[in-house]
Chain A
Amino acid sequence: MIKYKVDMKIEVKICMGTACYVMGGSELATLSEYLTPEQLKYVDIKGEPCINACFDQKEQRPPFVHVGEVLISEANINKVKEEIERQITELSL
């Protein structure tokens, strides 16, 4: 059985700026339905007003999502989920 540092929560910030939302971010609204109850304990999912990633990252395309410190571009449910899983495994003792 894997144990996690329970006090650590991974912050998932979904950019809800218009560009991110229109270019596919709208589908990320159902992200929590794709995570297991166990995974949900370790994440904190939030919709954020424009995080300005489209101005800072000229080469990358929306939608943008922050999973902890990691910025995901062209985000979709699968990409975000994978990153969450990776970070949870890293957190595990």
Chain B
Amino acid sequence: MNNAKQIRRDLISRVAKLLEERTLVEKIDRLPLEMRPRNQKAIRCCCHKERAVLKYRTMALLGFNTTDETDELMPLSEYAKQAEKRTRDQYTPVQLTVVDEACSSCVRNNYIVSNLCRACVARPCMYACKKDAITVTDKAFIDQDKCVNCGMCKEACPFHAIIYQPIPCEESCPVGAIKRNENGIEYIDDSKCIYCGKCMVACPFGAIMEKSFLVEIINSIKEGKKVVAMVAPALAGQFQVGMGQMMAAIKQLGFYDVVEVAKGANETTENEAKEFIERMEEGEPFMTTSCCPAWVNLVNKHMPEMKPFVSDTPSPMVYTARSVKAAMPEAITVFVAPCVGKRSEVYRTPEVDYVVSFEEIGSWLMARNIDVMKCEAAEIDTTINSDGRRFAYSNGVTMSVKNYVENPEVIKDIVISGLDKAAIRTLKGYVKSCPGNFVEVMSCPGGCVNGCDVIANPRVATRQVDNFAKSMESGENK
């Protein structure tokens, strides 16, 4: 937990409350003022700056990118009006937005001379610098215009006086999609972004927001439409209650029905196993999973040579949405997701209407004052094979497929748990020679339980998901 996250959750909860009261347009302009009253001690420079940041963060919660702004004077109420009229064909594929007002424009160059500098006689830093960027008076000084971030000075200093200060968002991005513009403000290059959400988690200023569907979802419920929540398997570990209680709490938010995506995961398992066997019979060297959207985005945007090896089987979310729509064509399907990646998948999936994140669900429950612990457990679908519930953590998909095939010994699995630069290099190598034949890829280390929008500690959540899966296997209906 951190302050930036708390502010975001507070904000989501307040927006949800206004939507629930149907007073969004009337009251939204007051929201930044209420959250940052004039007399309160500010964390940033002043309350006005904080209110401006809150305004742009709210814009994202209303489903806009900060770059959608054409007139700085346009109030939130105007955006709220537009959001309430928005239709699906007006969506844009960009799901992450940098709140430029909040971006602190971190250091321009990563190497900084600290006050440990002794201004020594030898001046090894000066001699090490090939760009003549360093001068020494009472302390070494790096000319920002000349510095090329090579780090030679840091290596040369015997006092360890030169430090490397990372830029958290850039450092966390595995594909180099986030960069500073000429004003030092970060921007995300959508042609490179894979929507893994790592920058959003990394930014200590909370400057990166994902676009939300809260307006559409809550308004659809208020209009009496049949809105169905499809919950990702990782949800089972998010609150310290059983899945039955968790699903009951979500239903209390006004959803017509709440279904487990673990059911769709069963279909994914079945089809992916069949696909795997077919591919192996055709002599293909290996196949990778396709349920993690950030992985699929990575292949599409950065690794086209991998494309033939990625499974064509739709994700559990897609199968679940298809069965919901088949049974009830008028249903509005909402995927309850652990990450921003799923927002990008939904953009290309007509069966799923909206996404709401775990964090948004938690904040919305908070706005409605629904105590999850006091909810009476809903009935759990006992027809689901519990292996589907294990899609929530790394190795789960592999385990399910192995349990499904008759001769699991033919599966030589490799599990990639977390997409960073090293993992991407490894995966690129697999195209030429792969040491296994079944590659499971999860963008988040540990799997969906560690998604960018989770509430619970991933370790605790993994245990809880597993216990839930086991209890359902042994028939204890929890």
Determine the distance from Cα of A4 to Cα of B362 in the docked complex, in whole angstroms.
41
A30: Cβ under 8 A from any B Cβ: yes
CB of B9 within 8 A of chain A?
yes
Of A12-20, A34-42, A64-72, A83-91, the stretch lying at the interface with chain B is A12-20
B457 A19 Cβ-Cβ under 8 A: no
Query: Is there contact, CB below 8 Å, between B456 and A18?
Result: no
Interface string of B358-401 (1 = CB under 8 A from A): 01001101100111111000000000000000000000000000
Q: Would you call B455 and A22 a contact (CB within 8 A)?
A: yes
Q: Does A29 contact B (CB under 8 A)?
A: yes
Please, which residues of chain A bring their CB within 8 A of the CB of B371? 17-18, 49-50
Select from chain A the residue with minimum beta-carbon distance to B10: A23
**How many angstroms from the CA of A18 to the CA of B362 in the assembled complex?**
7
Known: A21-B455, A27-B457. A47 touches B240 (CB 8 A): yes
**Contact across chains for B240 and A19 when beta carbons are under 8 A apart:** no
Chain B binding site: helix, strand, loop or mixed by DSSP?
A: helix
A49-B363 in contact given A24-B1, A30-B460 (Cβ < 8 Å): no
Residue of A nearest to B365 (CB): A18
CB of B245, distance to nearest CB on chain A (Å): 11
- A30 with B6: CB separation less than 8 A: no
Beta-carbon contact of B460 and A22 below 8 Å? no
A19 close to B373 (CB less than 8 A): no
Encoded as 1 (CB less than 8 Å from any B CB) or 0, chain A from 72 to 87 comes to 0000100000000000
A18 CB contacts on chain B under 8 angstroms: 362, 365-366, 369-372
User: What A residues does B365 contact at CB under 8 A?
Assistant: 18, 22
In the complex, residue of chain B having the shortest beta-carbon distance to the beta carbon of A63: B1
Tell me which residues across on chain B come within 8 A of A24, comparing CB atoms: 1, 6
* Cα separation A19 to B369 with both chains bound (whole Å): 8
Q: Complex formed: what's the CA distance from A68 to B239 in Å? A: 24
CB distance from B460 to the nearest CB of A (A): 5
Question: In the complex, A16 Cα to B460 Cα: how many Å?
Answer: 15
Residues of A within 8 A of B (CB): 16-19, 21-24, 26-27, 29-30, 47, 49-50, 76
Q: Could you pull out 12 A-B pairs where Cβ atoms are within 8 angstroms?
A: A16-B373, A18-B371, A18-B372, A19-B366, A21-B239, A22-B13, A22-B363, A23-B6, A23-B9, A27-B1, A49-B371, A76-B1
Interface set of B (CB-CB < 8 Å, partner A): 1, 6, 9-10, 13, 238-240, 359, 362-363, 365-366, 369-374, 455-457, 459-460
